Structure 1
Amino acid sequence: MENTTKKTGVFQKILNGIERVGNKLPDPFILFAMLALLVIVASAIFNAFGATVIHPGTGEKLAVKSLASAEGLQYILTSMLDNFTGFAPLGLVLSMMLGIGLAEKVGLLDYAIKKTILKSPPALITYTVVFVGIMGNIASDAAMVLIPPLAAMVFYKVGRNPIAGLAAGYAAAGAGFTANLLIAGTDALLAGISTEAAKIIDKDMVVTPVDNWYFNSVSVFVLTIVGGLVTTRFIEPRLGKYKGDVVEEAVAEDPPNASKGLRNAGIAGLLYIALILLVIFLPNSPLRNEDGGLIPSPFLSGIIPIILFFFIIIGVVYGMTVGNIKSSKDVAGYMAESMKDLAGYIVLIFAISQFIAYFSWSNIATWVAVNGAQFLKDIEFTGIGLIIGYIIFTALLNFLITSGSAKWALEAPVFVPMFMQLGYHPAFTQAAYRIADSSTNIVTPLMPYMVIILSFMQKYDKKAGMGTFIALMLPYSITFLLSWIILILVFYFLGIPFGPGIYPLL
């Protein structure tokens, strides 16, 4: 294969610079601890200058309170545990991952992904790889490691360039991370942070995990088509016919009853869904609201437990069928294993929860939101152009901070209240954030999976380097971002809900 690595040019120098700067940033936990300290110092300065703000909801005049005062110190010490345990995303994500983690640990998700790709008809391989890559984020980051090598192997077996398959799989899993037909852990995590930020302005505002569901579902099909076209019309012609030799690695053997387990899990899942639908459509259903509707309703408010039980059921059925679950102790054991994977997230949440709590209690968040919104009104920059500008800003920020949860925890307390002041729903702001964060995941040098994928690539082309990688990923990143911006404009101007009862404007 022709070597695509070029001499260091301007773009490569920019990427190298981003990598150097990004690597100097502290660990996210330390970063948010430092930000919390910064809020303490800033609150003292604001208070010393007598900064005040009129709360947009109550009309009350609020003074910026100093966290460095006696009252502030008391708040810091007495609220620390409540800030952590009461932080909305914590319970949402831990609950979701009990179910999803179980399904992953017993091998159900890996087997389903593997079989979908390996059994795909040759004519549909490209689009199947992209679709499965996008949907694979239900297994979180594992999809970025599992899907690309499988896609490369399938492409090679049908006589196509394996690097194109690798690129399509990674681009879909990384850049399409936020899209899904199912409600995933990411939905719960981001919705919880959005809710905490929205309460700065409106104590009754709640962003649920389904508030971006319609938009995410449509995104799956749009990105599948776009990703497939980029692969077949641009990536494969650019790579040309593969002429190298590959030492094929044997795919790990599946349990003897894996196929039967997948079938049984599918049947159990369908029966569970049928039961939920039956309860929903019963007269005077306890899952509907007093008027008989679903927006809002106990069904939407309780969507996390409903999804939790779905994944527990299919995970247990699959595990029992293939023999991975032999007793109730095994179920608890697999759940405990999935919780171990969240240890780093739990540690990070402790720091994030303190930062957001301090930002809100001091009234700096309200001051920034009100004055920031007024500034944007004064310069007449409040329309959809503002949202597009915000998307581009976040896409660029992703080159320095790759953690989606950490970046949203940083942005949400500022932009969610500010955009609420301009009339935008928090879930709409969240959707704008998600498309920006996802699109540039695959081209930032700080993405930890980049090195792993590059090592896979070098199995097929030993001369492949960072330049090769970026050159292959950039077309996906740009086209996904542009497609998503067009899609969000379509939803915005046609008044299409982003989720049940959720529209761009409040």
Structure 2
Amino acid sequence: MENSKKNKGIAQKFLNGIEIAGNKLPDPFILFASLAVLVIIVSAIFNAFGASVIHPGTGEELQVKSLASGEGLQYILTSMLDNFTGFAPLGLVLAMMLGIGLAEKVGLLDYAIKKTILKSPPALITYTVVFVGIMGNIASDAAMVLVPPLAAMVFYKVGRNPIAGLAAGYAAAGAGFTANLLIAGTDALLAGISTEAAQIIDENFVVTPVDNWYFNIVSVFILTIVGGLVTNKFIEPRLGKYKGEEIEEAVTEDPPNAGKGLRNSVIAGLVYWAIIIVVIFLPDSPLRNEQGGIVPSPFLSGIVPIILFFFIIIGVAYGMTVGNIKSSRDVAKYMADAMKDMASYIVLIFAIAQFIAYFSWSNIATWIAVNGAEFLKDIEFTGIGLIIGYIIFTALMNFLITSGSAKWALEAPVFVPMFMQLGYHPAFTQVAYRVADSSTNIVTPLMPYMVIALSFMQKYDKKAGIGTFISLMLPYSVCFLLTWIVLILIFFFFGLPFGPGITPYL
């Protein structure tokens, strides 16, 4: 008993330490602005010592250029707007969110998530909750707020412990964030940052939003099984039968035509994709490449606008049926509302774009990539063990920086070029990042949605605290991370494509 108390004390101190250290970090915008200033200082120091590197692609010797020089000052002032407006993820994500945001604002995504969980057969409730939680990231972070209380309510109504349902819903939405059967805004965002980082080595290199798609599809089904088993075999038995006070569960009323709206949106979506498929298979289709193939092709290059139109079509079909869209003005209004939610992201992108641009222009990124790769070769640490080590490193970093886009913007300019020098495809490095970042989302006290989920939990257990919550999330986090590492190993050793035409190696 004494050892148990001591271990709990150590664990609590560890978590408290993480919370204190993380809270001392500045806001992500200030963090990247500070990093941009740091690059200016470091570039001047490197330049003063005559640092240089041979560009791996051109064979040209590149001097590290000082941003603190006259030339550097000119670059900073004349490139600032171009760095921002030309930053690849900006247009990709904003375009995606026009469609996804419309579908969310008219109520389609919320209704689809709710009905999928509420109408699930009792024997499949756990797996349905996990599946919907994972798929919910199509609505971005909204799933972490919407799915847990719905799952808790369903578990309670069928006589199961509601806290187990809440735990399964939050774990799936948070730790399974990177997986989806569809191409989501996250795919566009990360691919854009990966492209910017890859172009440090090869200015023509492009990472597309579909480059991790096959891996994500497999992940959805594997994680659904793992999350369901963790809930049924570990979490629920540990919690035992619910003995709390009786809860009056209120269900928000849906629009009268919501069911019909969902049906119409599904029909509209299927018709849309049927047309796309017909166009792809037309003789001399403009969506295929000159050889008649799909990889690469205008279809894959144009996947973002194709998906944008898909979400606009299903959002409009639902909105018109339920009466939320009465005129074309309403479509623009809902899109504008969705863009309001992206305001903080746009502000952050301004700072991230400057940091990455300075890092690249100064040639520090190339210097680190080439010398870092040479060092790893010298110590013979270049195989799959390196990738696993990187996954663990990123998983731990998540305890300090919870924003997935901010963390990738920090890591990508270093690790993408470095791993390219070792022969690894940027999309493969991106997969390693995504599984690590997602897995530990649910156990860091800095995740803002943890407090919201904890408040839902306290409805059923008033004594529950952060420690209670994290103790329930830890099994999911560990199991998801280990499962994903095994899945990466399977894809790696069997040469399975992570996306269309994407293997681990360049």
TM-score tier, shorter chain, comes to over 0.9
| Cross-structure match for 2:228 | 228
Q: Give 1:250 shift.
A: 1.3
Deviations 1:269-319 (CA, angstroms, capped at 9, x unpaired): 000000000000000000000000000000000000000000000000100
SS at match of 1:402: coil
| Cross-structure match for 1:314 | 314
Q: Give 1:7 shift.
A: 8.5
Q: C-alpha separation between the residues in 2 aligned to 1:57 and 1:157?
A: 62
Structure 2 residue ranges without an equivalent (≥5): none
Q: Give 1:343 shift.
A: 0.0
| Cross-structure match for 2:444 | 444
- Does structure 2 conserve the Cα–Cα contact (< 8 Å) formed by 1:178 and 1:434? yes
Matches within 5 A, 1:151-230: 151-230=151-230
| Cross-structure match for 1:36 | 36
Q: C-alpha separation between the residues in 2 aligned to 1:406 and 1:341?
A: 17
| Cross-structure match for 2:135 | 135
Which of structure 1's runs of 4+ aligned residues deviate more than 4 A?
A: 4-8
Whether 1:477 aligns to 2:494 is no
Q: C-alpha separation between the residues in 1 aligned to 2:448 and 2:6?
A: 23
Q: C-alpha separation between the residues in 2 aligned to 1:155 and 1:263?
A: 26
Q: Give 1:39 shift.
A: 0.1
Deviations 1:69-121 (CA, angstroms, capped at 9, x unpaired): 00000000000000000000000000000000000000000000000000000
Q: C-alpha separation between the residues in 2 aligned to 1:488 and 1:338?
A: 34
| Cross-structure match for 1:95 | 95
- Does structure 2 conserve the Cα–Cα contact (< 8 Å) formed by 1:5 and 1:466? no
Q: Give 1:11 shift.
A: 1.4
Q: C-alpha separation between the residues in 2 aligned to 1:34 and 1:245?
A: 50
SS at match of 1:62: strand
Q: Give 1:57 shift.
A: 0.2
SS at match of 2:462: coil
| Cross-structure match for 2:434 | 434
| Cross-structure match for 2:59 | 59
Q: C-alpha separation between the residues in 1 aligned to 2:344 and 2:246?
A: 37
- Does structure 2 conserve the Cα–Cα contact (< 8 Å) formed by 1:148 and 1:170? yes
SS at match of 2:53: strand
Q: Give 1:246 shift.
A: 3.3
Structure 1 residues 466 and 348 mapped into 2: Cα distance closer, same or farther (>3 Å)? same
| Cross-structure match for 1:14 | 14
Q: C-alpha separation between the residues in 2 aligned to 1:65 and 1:7?
A: 51
Q: C-alpha separation between the residues in 2 aligned to 1:22 and 1:392?
A: 18
| Cross-structure match for 2:357 | 357
The one-letter code sitting in structure 2 at the alignment partner of 1:390 is Y
Deviations 1:471-505 (CA, angstroms, capped at 9, x unpaired): 10000000000000000000000000000000000
SS at match of 1:259: helix
SS at match of 2:458: helix
Deviations 1:456-482 (CA, angstroms, capped at 9, x unpaired): 111101111111101100000000000
Matches within 5 A, 1:338-349: 338-349=338-349
Q: C-alpha separation between the residues in 2 aligned to 1:15 and 1:498?
A: 35
- Does structure 2 conserve the Cα–Cα contact (< 8 Å) formed by 1:5 and 1:464? no
Structure 1 residue ranges without an equivalent (≥5): none
The one-letter code sitting in structure 1 at the alignment partner of 2:480 is F
The one-letter code sitting in structure 2 at the alignment partner of 1:100 is I
- The TM-score, its normalising length taken from structure 1, stands at 0.99
| Cross-structure match for 2:334 | 334
| Cross-structure match for 1:269 | 269
Q: C-alpha separation between the residues in 1 aligned to 2:248 and 2:362?
A: 59
| Cross-structure match for 1:81 | 81
Deviations 1:94-150 (CA, angstroms, capped at 9, x unpaired): 000000000000000000000000000000000000000000000000000000000
- Does structure 2 conserve the Cα–Cα contact (< 8 Å) formed by 1:100 and 1:139? yes
SS at match of 1:9: helix
Q: C-alpha separation between the residues in 2 aligned to 1:430 and 1:245?
A: 46
Q: C-alpha separation between the residues in 2 aligned to 1:447 and 1:7?
A: 24
Q: C-alpha separation between the residues in 1 aligned to 2:39 and 2:257?
A: 56
Q: C-alpha separation between the residues in 1 aligned to 2:248 and 2:366?
A: 58
| Cross-structure match for 1:291 | 291
The one-letter code sitting in structure 1 at the alignment partner of 2:100 is I
Deviations 1:179-203 (CA, angstroms, capped at 9, x unpaired): 0000000000000000000000011
Q: C-alpha separation between the residues in 1 aligned to 2:246 and 2:76?
A: 59
Q: C-alpha separation between the residues in 2 aligned to 1:295 and 1:267?
A: 28
Q: C-alpha separation between the residues in 2 aligned to 1:6 and 1:169?
A: 31
Q: C-alpha separation between the residues in 2 aligned to 1:491 and 1:7?
A: 38
Deviations 1:312-348 (CA, angstroms, capped at 9, x unpaired): 0000010000000000000000000000000000000
Q: How many residues align?
A: 503
Q: C-alpha separation between the residues in 2 aligned to 1:199 and 1:139?
A: 30
Q: C-alpha separation between the residues in 1 aligned to 2:49 and 2:5?
A: 55
Q: Give 1:249 shift.
A: 3.4
The one-letter code sitting in structure 1 at the alignment partner of 2:39 is V
- Does structure 2 conserve the Cα–Cα contact (< 8 Å) formed by 1:246 and 1:459? no
| Cross-structure match for 1:260 | 260
- Does structure 2 conserve the Cα–Cα contact (< 8 Å) formed by 1:195 and 1:205? yes
- Does structure 2 conserve the Cα–Cα contact (< 8 Å) formed by 1:457 and 1:464? yes
The one-letter code sitting in structure 2 at the alignment partner of 1:404 is G
Deviations 1:422-461 (CA, angstroms, capped at 9, x unpaired): 0000000000000000000000000001111111111101
Deviations 1:332-389 (CA, angstroms, capped at 9, x unpaired): 0000000000000000000000000000000000000000000000000000000000
Q: Give 1:247 shift.
A: 2.6
Q: C-alpha separation between the residues in 1 aligned to 2:467 and 2:73?
A: 51
Q: Give 1:8 shift.
A: 4.8
Matches within 5 A, 1:394-405: 394-405=394-405
SS at match of 1:459: coil
SS at match of 1:460: coil
Q: C-alpha separation between the residues in 1 aligned to 2:244 and 2:126?
A: 21
| Cross-structure match for 1:279 | 279
CA RMSD, aligned part only?
1.0
- The TM-score, its normalising length taken from structure 2, stands at 0.99
Deviations 1:163-189 (CA, angstroms, capped at 9, x unpaired): 000000000000000000000000000
